[in-house]
Chain A
Amino acid sequence: MARAVTTQHKTIATAAAWIVALLIFFPILYTIITSFKSEQEAIQGFNLIPSGTFESYTEVQARSGYFKFFFNSVLLSVGSTILALLVAIPAAWSMAFSPTKRTKDILMWMLSTKMMPAVAVLFPIYLIFRDSGLLDSRIGLMIMLMLINLPIVVWMLYTYFREIPGEILEAARMDGASLWNEIIYVLTPMAVPGIASTMLLNIILAWNEAFWTIRLTTTNAAPLTAFISSFSSPQGLFWAKLSAASTLAIAPILIMGWFSQKQLVRGLTFGAVK
């Protein structure tokens, strides 16, 4: 009897959860479906079965050079993440392994920089970029994205590094390991998973950043966020093409995101929820 109730309960829960999940996922699903329609089909009312044409994909590339934007997105998100890691790893390392009285204050202060609204510095940054010729340059935007995400990177690395037990270091020291040996043979292998998770989350955040990437670029350094935004002014019927471009823009990050759910929680809550 008890088991029957459980099965019934499970069936209801499954049905309810799947319906809600599909509703939430629907806009993404419909975008993918529409990307395989022709422009004519795309506006002919609700239809879940596309004719399966790839013409939108080829046309997006042919007409607007889609892959240049895609390449910029990859370069900017990966590049800014590597830059941020180079700066943040030593900082997080020293905060985790030789904390001082002020370590916590420094961490909180770093977090507070993340709370500064971007618009508050829009014009000065715009001026600085314009006058130093960094407007619409990949390197300028890469530095910008690095600075934006640096606090999160330091924080995430710090929470990971802090979990590496100090006793292991002491044991290595007892065995006569030098500082370098200690770093290379003991600490690095234990730190790699944390660094990889941080990298993953940060690439996602940089890929989707949609304020500076839109405002500081025009054509040369423009990533996908800027490219997609250019679809906002309607030039005829373009939904299938918009869907194709959108699908390509979100697919890699969606897949990366699915693999990083746990890290996402940890990174975005600054270790407060695990």
Chain B
Amino acid sequence: MATQQTRSLARFMMAPSVVLLFVWMIVPLLFTLWFSFQQYNPLNPIRDGFVGFSNYALFYSNPAFLQSILNTLAIVVSVLVITVVGGILLALLIDQPMWGQGIVRILVISPFFVMPPVAALVWKNMIMHPQYGVFADIARFFGAEPIDWFGQHPLTAIIIIVAWQWLPFATLILLTSLQSLDGEQKEAAEMDGAGFLSRFIYLTLPHMSRAITVVILIQTIFLLSVYAEILVTTNGGPGYASTNLPFLVYQKALLEFKIGQASAGGVIAVILANIVAFFAMRAVGKNLDK
């Protein structure tokens, strides 16, 4: 009897979260799905209604579409490689005995707390500006021609900014994992004459594998939807050179008011995210059982 009561109480306590999240997820998504099969432009009184898959066809035939998908993947993969490799190296470095370790940690983690628009604008103006930026000063110091980052290499510039924001996250998590490695095991390996490299490959790396997986999965979720960094630096340009899928959908929806096409793009973004989510959930779920 008591358990019955507890159980219904538990359901009652859980209901608000579950209902809110369910409504928040399902209702807008159904709208998007509905719009993706409609011809709808708020600025245009003509509404043709149901148009089948033509929005998808239009979105697909738009040359920007393929480029935006490639850009999205380029951002995700490049930033992942930079942050995971850089994060492992940094974590190994910071884990060494040293003076002022606490302050080093604080300095390294800081970029993660900088809001995206600030990070992007600071890099755009103060660091990468072709005339007044620090990079330009350095280039001139060595007698080289300063690089016009956002004109010539817009996607690379955005990748650098985003990697700067996420490197601290990877480092912090990998460092936390590294520090939970059993000291005795390390000592035993050292006693047995294992060099730094073999200790790293056979002891450290396997120990960190779970943390590395988590870093990759969580970053992928956020990196798939990079937005503010593009908005305040290149605005997707020149042309579509730095437009990713979220940015293209935003442009279609709120600038061109091509709601049908934007919704089709949104549905594609959901599918892309779901493929990633599938693997993410499995990995996180496995960790739950331990």
| Residues of A participating in the B interface, judged by any CB pair closer than 8 Å | 6, 9-10, 13-14, 16-18, 20-22, 24-25, 27-28, 30-31, 34, 42-43, 45-46, 87-88, 90-91, 93-95, 97-98, 100, 104, 106-108, 110-128, 147, 150-151, 154, 204, 207-208, 210-211, 214-215, 224-225, 228-229, 231-232, 239, 242-243, 246, 249-250, 253-254, 256-258, 261-262, 264-265, 268-274
Q: Is the CB of A147 within 8 A of B266?
A: no
Distance in Å: Cβ of A91 to nearest Cβ of chain B: 4
Q: Which of B16, B114, B218, B262 has the most C-beta atoms of chain A within 10 angstroms of its own C-beta?
A: B114
Give the Cβ gap from A263 to chain B, nearest Cβ, in Å.
Answer: 11
Q: Is the CB of B118 within 8 A of A246?
A: yes
Choice from B13, B101, B172 contacting A90 with Cβ under 8 Å: B13
Question: When A21-B108, A228-B118 are in contact, do A128 and B28 touch as well, CB less than 8 Å?
Answer: yes
Docked Cα-Cα span, A232 to B29, in Å, equals 31
From A13, A25, A118, A214, give the contact of B110 (CB < 8 A): A25
Known contacts A20-B108, A225-B116, A249-B115; 20 further A-B pairs (Cβ under 8 A): A13-B96, A16-B93, A20-B90, A24-B107, A25-B110, A31-B126, A98-B7, A100-B7, A110-B17, A116-B270, A117-B272, A120-B266, A123-B32, A150-B17, A228-B115, A228-B121, A229-B228, A262-B176, A265-B173, A271-B287
Q: Which residues of B contact A97 (CB under 8 A)?
A: 10
CA distance A269 to B213 in the complex (A): 10
Contact string against A for B residues 228-261, beta-carbon threshold 8 Å, 1 for contact and 0 otherwise: 1001110100000000011001100110000100
Max chain B CB contacts within 10 Å: which of A18, A27, A97, A151?
Answer: A27
A246 pairs with B254, CB closer than 8 A: no
Q: Mark B111-128, 1 if CB is under 8 A from A, else 0.
A: 111111111011111110
Contact pick for B35, options A34, A124, A207, A258, CB 8 Å: A124
- A–B pairs, 17, beta carbons within 8 Å: A9-B96, A20-B108, A21-B103, A25-B108, A46-B138, A104-B285, A110-B17, A112-B277, A119-B266, A122-B250, A124-B32, A126-B254, A150-B21, A228-B118, A229-B231, A254-B113, A265-B173
Interface centre among A16, A106, A261 (most CB of B within 10 A): A261
Q: Which of B50-58, B163-171, B186-194 is near enough to bind chain A?
A: B163-171
> Are A210 and B17 within 8 A (Cβ)?
no
Give the Cβ gap from A191 to chain B, nearest Cβ, in Å: 14
Q: Are B284 and A121 touching (Cβ within 8 A)?
A: no
A residues in contact with B269, CB < 8 Å: 117, 119-120
Q: Say whether A119 contacts B98, CB under 8 Å.
A: no
Q: Which residues of chain B are near A271, meaning CB under 8 Å?
A: 287
* Chain B residues near A111 (CB-CB < 8 A): 281, 284
Beta-carbon contact of B284 and A272 below 8 Å? yes
Q: Which of B13, B31, B107, B263 contacts A25 (CB 8 A)?
A: B107
If A46-B137, A257-B110 touch, whether A106 touches B287 (CB-CB below 8 Å) is no
B277 touches A269 (CB 8 A): no
Q: Which of A17, A91, A225 lies in contact with B104, CB distance below 8 A? A: A17
B169 with A249: CB separation less than 8 A: no
Interface hits, B199-219 → A, CB 8 Å = 210-211, 214, 218
B44 at the interface (CB under 8 A from A): no
Name which of A14, A104, A271 has the most chain B CB atoms within 10 A of its CB.
A14
> Which residues on B sit within 8 Å (CB–CB) of A108?
281, 284-285
Contacts A28-B110, A90-B13, A116-B29 given; does A243 touch B126 at CB 8 Å: yes
Chain B residue contacts of A45, Cβ below 8 A: 132, 137
A258 cross-chain contacts in B, Cβ below 8 A: 106, 109-110
**A246 neighbours in B (Cβ, 8 Å):** 118, 121-122
Report whether A90 and B14 are in contact in the complex, using a CB–CB cutoff of 8 Å: yes
Given A111-B281, A120-B266: A10 in contact with B17 (beta carbons within 8 A): no
Instruction: Tell me whether A250 and B97 are in contact in the complex, defined as CB-CB below 8 angstroms, given that A21-B104, A24-B111 are known contacts.
Output: no
Query: Which residue of the partner chain, among B21, B121, B253, B263, contacts A147 with CB atoms under 8 Å?
Result: B21
- A24 touching B108 by the CB < 8 A rule? yes
- Residues of the A chain whose Cβ atoms lie less than 8 Å from the Cβ of B96: 9-10, 13, 17
A261 to B110, CA, bound (A): 10
Partner pick for B18 among A91, A225, A242, A265, CB 8 A cutoff: A91
For A117, what are the chain B residues with a Cβ–Cβ distance below 8 Å? 224-225, 246, 266, 269-270, 272-273
